[in-house]
Copies of this chain bind each other. A is one copy, B any other.
Amino acid sequence: MLTTNPLDDDKLHEECGIFGVYGSDGAAALVALGLHALQHRGQEAAGITSYDGHDFHTHRATGHVAGNFDRDDVIGSLRGQIACGHVRYATTGDTALRNVQPLYAELASGGFAIAHNGNLSNAMRLRRDLVRRGSIFQSTSDTETIIHLVATSSYRTFVDKFIDALKQVEGAYSLIVMTPEGMIACRDPLGIRPLVMGKLGESIIFASETVALDVVGAEFIRSVEPGELVIVKGLEDITSHRPFAPVAPRPCIFEYVYFSRPDSISEERSVYSVRKEIGAQLAIEAPVDADLVIPVPDSGVPAAIGYAQQSGIPFELGIIRSHYVGRTFIQPGDKVRHLGVKLKHNANRALIKGKRVVLIDDSIVRGTTSLKIVQMMREAGAAEVHMRIASPPTRHSCFYGVDTPERAKLLAAKLDVPGMSEFIHADSLAFVSIDGLYKALGEPRRADIRPSHCDACFTGDYPTTLTDQDEAVSIDQFAMLAERVG
């Protein structure tokens, strides 16, 4: 686990972030900065592909963007004015470099690089058919399926082959594609994963979140729309295409809860404001008589400010983060579990002693970290510990590019709220309601028919069919196909 914040270990994890630049000198350096700003979306590996008018250049590495893509020799070798990149959070052990994106292939029409945020829900079935016809897969990534569908498509132009391929896949995909002719950005018809478009001087930028535009100094233009292909062939030749039958969009609601950075703008809303508003809703729905509101750092801070402002209870730093430390301390041996949290966070004992505290966190997945934090408060002498969670209980797995533990490990899939409260040893526990969550987004409540967002992790209401899941292609069978390359 590469996260440097142990309080984030027990979270759902967005699996990927993508970033593309069209038409700027030193495009790869901008991509490196953009990926660095998206590092929270995937910390296990990163890759960048550039195109210099003649050749494609690719560098991939396991680990963070910093340390791998801030080296002059690496960036210098990624020549060209067009580049795209990818950060990745691997769900299984298979962190082989060949699975790191962007993926690249030579077609008869020339080179083709692709970076994918999301997950296809019928990739296994498509793969079996392709292999039967002679396609040779080099990775275990679902993204490679798209490449082979393009390579073997009977359409003539690259764009037609690409649309032909997308029409065969189902699931979630935000894609940035590079060919010798230009760059294509697109989102699946439901727009499950985000993708935004910006401008830096004359050049065009695509990114998973607006913070990545901020870091390079680019201006946010608009989101790529669900079901839209934006094709950039020149700075004056940008076209929009909508090859799919129209459906009501269902973007992921968890981006507001945790995935996106608070300083991002998602669908014209400030993520920070939405989180504060969820905190305020929580204070209304689940008030408590207490002395201090304490955020679980860092993701609980905006909701805690909202809760404190709504309730009038003072906001205080009750948990101090060891803010200087650049590397995770790997405590040898058994003591890990015992000390894991303490190494990075320490209770502000003098503050907490004898006080009734409300802890604010964004979500509970397995519950193990919540338990440790409640204990940390008690050991510091808290009189009462109340936990308030700025999302509804997480009860279902995600199949659209989010790393969720199997259902059996989701605390909320096993226990009701009083049971969970007991599990984490809190004096009380409450979650914001699903309607409260939609209220924080400015809607009156969740629409029963066609809700405005994908909230399957809370409700089990999946917006697509789940072909591979239904065919019970277990992860074990899949793994059997995998050659392990060192």
Contact = CB atoms under 8 A, between A and B. Distances in A.
Nearest to A63: B327
A387 B348 CA distance: 27
B480 A324 contact: no
Interface in A311-363: 314-317, 320-333, 335, 339, 342-343, 346-351
A262 B317 contact: yes
Nearest to A70: B330
A480 B55 contact: yes
B326 A2 contact: yes
B317 A484 contact: no
A73 to B, nearest CB: 9
B261 A29 contact: no
Given A43-B324, A317-B302, A483-B57, A342 B136 contact: no
A104 B124 CA distance: 20
Interface string A243-265: 00000000000000000011101
A90 to B, nearest CB: 16
A58 B483 contact: yes
Nearest to A327: B66
A309 B317 contact: no
A473 B135 CA distance: 26
Interface centre among A54, A58, A60, A332, by most B CB within 10 Å? A332
B75 A332 contact: yes
A210 to B, nearest CB: 9
A171 B347 CA distance: 34
Interface stretch (A34-42, A223-231, A418-426): A34-42
A258 B54 CA distance: 40
A414 interface: no
A167 interface: no
A272 interface: yes
A270 interface: yes
A214 interface: yes
A346 B3 CA distance: 20
B298 A343 contact: no
A67 interface: yes
Contacts of A93: none
Contact of A135 (B131, B151, B321): B151
A36 B329 contact: yes
A314 B309 contact: yes
A444 to B, nearest CB: 23
Contacts of A482: 55
Nearest to A132: B108
A22 interface: no
Contacts of A2: 326
A330 B485 contact: no
A4 B135 CA distance: 42
A111 interface: yes
B484 A57 contact: yes
Contacts of A66: 325-330
Given A58-B484, A332-B72, A483-B56, A273 B351 contact: yes
Nearest to A265: B350
A18 to B, nearest CB: 17
A91 interface: no
A351 B262 CA distance: 10
A243 B347 CA distance: 38
A74 interface: yes
Nearest to A113: B483
Contacts of A347: 214, 263
Given A59-B486, A134-B148, A262-B320, 10 more contacts: A37-B322, A40-B322, A40-B323, A56-B483, A61-B486, A65-B329, A70-B332, A215-B343, A273-B350, A298-B321
21 contacts: A36-B343, A37-B343, A55-B483, A56-B483, A57-B483, A57-B484, A58-B485, A59-B485, A64-B326, A66-B325, A66-B329, A107-B131, A108-B131, A134-B151, A134-B152, A263-B320, A263-B350, A270-B351, A273-B350, A305-B315, A309-B314
